[in-house]
Structure 1
Amino acid sequence: MIPGRSSGRPDRPGAALANEVEGYLLLRAERDQARLEATALCARLPWLTTAQAEDLSRHYVEQRLGLTRQALQVTADRAHRLRAEYEARHAVLRRTLLKWHAACASLVLTAAGTAGTGLYVLAR
Structure 2
Amino acid sequence: MSGLRKRGTGTGGDLGNEVEGYLLWQARVAEAEQRAREFTGPLDWLTTAQREEVERQYTADSLRRARADLERVAARCVSLRAEYEHRYQELRRRCLAVVLAVCAGCTALTALLLAL
Q: Could you tell me how far 1:10 is from its partner in structure 2? A: 5.0
Match of 1:122 in 2: none
Match of 2:58 in 1: 60
Give yes or no for the alignment of 1:43 onto 2:41: yes
Q: Distance in 1 between matches of 2:33 and 2:19?
A: 21
- TM-score, reference length from structure 2: 0.89
Q: Distance in 1 between matches of 2:77 and 2:20?
A: 19
Q: Specify the SS of the correspondent of 2:114.
A: helix
Match of 1:96 in 2: 94
The residue type equivalent to 1:69 in the other structure is: R
Q: Could you tell me how far 1:103 is from its partner in structure 2? A: 0.6
RMSD between superposed Cα atoms in Å: 1.3
Task: Indicate the structure whose relative CO is greater, using CA pairs within 8 Å and at least 6 residues apart.
Answer: 2
Q: 1:71 to 1:89 in 2, by over 3 A?
A: same
Q: Distance in 1 between matches of 2:104 and 2:29?
A: 63
Moved over 2 A (4+): none
Q: Specify the SS of the correspondent of 1:44.
A: coil
Q: Which runs of 5+ in 1 are unaligned?
A: 1-7, 119-124
Give yes or no for the alignment of 1:71 onto 2:56: no
Match of 1:27 in 2: 25
Match of 1:11 in 2: 11
Q: Could you tell me how far 1:16 is from its partner in structure 2? A: 1.6
Give the counterpart of 1:107 among 85, 105, 108: 105
Q: Could you tell me how far 1:113 is from its partner in structure 2? A: 1.2
- TM-score, reference length from structure 1: 0.84
Q: Distance in 2 between matches of 1:16 and 1:86?
A: 23
